[in-house]
Chain A
Amino acid sequence: MHRLILSLLATIGLLTSCNLYPGSDARTDTLDMVSTLYDDQIDFKSMQTYALYDDVVPIVEDGSTPNFTITAEIKNTILSSIEANLAAYGWQKVDTTDNPDLIFGSGITVTVNTNIYQSFPIYGWGYPYYGYTVSSYPVGNLIIVALDHKDRDTVTNVAPTVWFGLIQGPLTGGVSDPMGRLDRDISQAFEQSTYLNLNP
């Protein structure tokens, strides 16, 4: 009887003591987030062609220099992934001079996420106070936009954005295949944008 009771208590204690929160063993790339936004008034299926701006620009404040480097490998991975996903959706790539329906462009910026944890009250000499733990880490942000070239203002040459993709992920820890991670996330952006699929 005592053995059964102890077993029950041990089971309860074991199950309820399990730490279910993502801890330090969570892989960096599992924290990636892919967001997409589009103009639902646009009929993408009436379009066919796109042009792709052949550079990935660093996005920084006016006048400042970026504190990160976009290597040729990163640039090639991003551009080829965008191309491959659009080709799979039936889009035809043309030059900007061929009056495409859409123009795709991409850019990267790095931000810093700061977490502030308030701990339980600390009782020492004098009035109790709350302790705080502050941690921060860099986050990479890849932005992909699609501009409606045929709806541009012919005077200012400004075209409206009809599709926007944002890929965010922490730039900490060792990722075994960073280019594969980029490609997967870009593919996810198109996978959740089925309205871009021109195939019947």
Chain B
Amino acid sequence: MKNLILISAFVASLSLKSFGQGNEFIVTWNFGIPTAPLSDIVSKTSLQGWAFEYRRAMTKTLSVGGSVGLNVFHQEHDKYTWHFDDFAITAHDWRFAHVVPLTVNAHFNPLRNMQTPWQVFAGAGMGATYVNEEIWAGIYSFRQEMWGFHFYPEVGVRYVMSNQTALLLSTQFMTVLSGHYTGENLHYWNVRLGFSFGTHRSE
């Protein structure tokens, strides 16, 4: 957690530099929608997620950058029964999955050089992810944590309110290789809603 705070502070501090040509700082509220196999543990959409991102324009339409984020998946069952071949267990359970992706990314924004408030963009990212999956059942708890490689495609839309600020809505499909406790890849949809501060129209 301490490392996460330091990394977040570093990314956030990039925003303290003046927003020169093509620099962008983005803060988003993230919604995580789990898919199999993560949904086998937690099927509930996560509203507890955030990300800080920095992008730097390399050309008029292409930018590269990095981000750090967090999604917390959580679900509680009053009474849940696991059935196996010849035995069954019932308990009140709490289930968690914490996903912390550290990403480098690239985005293509074809409308950045046009004077239009609506800008669509597409991109991709990859990096390292910390995953912590926990089940607390009765008086017992089970925990699996690991680091894995992740990647995602992303599409989104930006509404430019001024040359320096914009609203942002995007969707990523995250894949963390061997990120699930069974060894399978972990997947979820990451819907992001937030603000972008920086240069949104090319000169």
Contacts and interface: CB of A to CB of B under 8 A. Distances in A.
Interface of A: 1, 4-5, 8-9, 11-12, 15-16, 18, 20-22, 30-40, 113, 120, 139, 168-170, 188, 192-193
Interface centre among B50, B140, B165 (most CB of A within 10 A): B50
A5 B195 contact: yes
Sort A-B residue pairs by CB-CB distance and give the 3 closest, nearest first.
A33-B138, A37-B87, A33-B91
Contacts of B87: 35-38
Interface of B: 2, 27, 29, 47-50, 70, 72, 74, 79, 81, 83, 85-92, 94, 96, 136-140, 161, 165, 194-195
Contacts of B47: 15
B193 to A, nearest CB: 8
Given A12-B27, A12-B50, A36-B87, 20 more contacts: A1-B161, A1-B165, A15-B47, A15-B48, A16-B50, A16-B72, A21-B94, A21-B96, A22-B136, A31-B92, A31-B138, A33-B91, A33-B140, A35-B90, A37-B86, A139-B139, A168-B139, A169-B139, A188-B79, A192-B90
Which applies to chain A's interface (DSSP): helix, strand, loop or mixed?
mixed
Given A1-B165, A12-B29, A33 B195 contact: no
Contacts of A32: 91-92, 138
Contacts of A192: 81, 83, 88, 90
B90 A21 contact: no
B91 to A, nearest CB: 4
A22 B49 contact: no
Nearest to A195: B86
A178 B50 CA distance: 43
Nearest to B165: A1
Nearest to A38: B86
Nearest to B84: A37
Contact of B194 (A1, A8, A18, A169): A8
Nearest to B1: A120
Which applies to chain B's interface (DSSP): helix, strand, loop or mixed?
strand
Contacts of A22: 94, 136
B20 to A, nearest CB: 21
B130 to A, nearest CB: 15
Nearest to B89: A35
B27 A193 contact: no
A16 B90 contact: no
Given A20-B74, A34-B89, A8 B139 contact: no
A140 to B, nearest CB: 11
Given A16-B50, A18-B48, A20-B94, A9 B81 contact: no
A28 to B, nearest CB: 10
Nearest to A113: B139
Contacts of A4: 195
B195 to A, nearest CB: 6
A170 B29 contact: no
A193 B136 CA distance: 23
A4 B140 CA distance: 43
A120 B88 CA distance: 37
Contacts of B81: 192
A34 B90 CA distance: 5
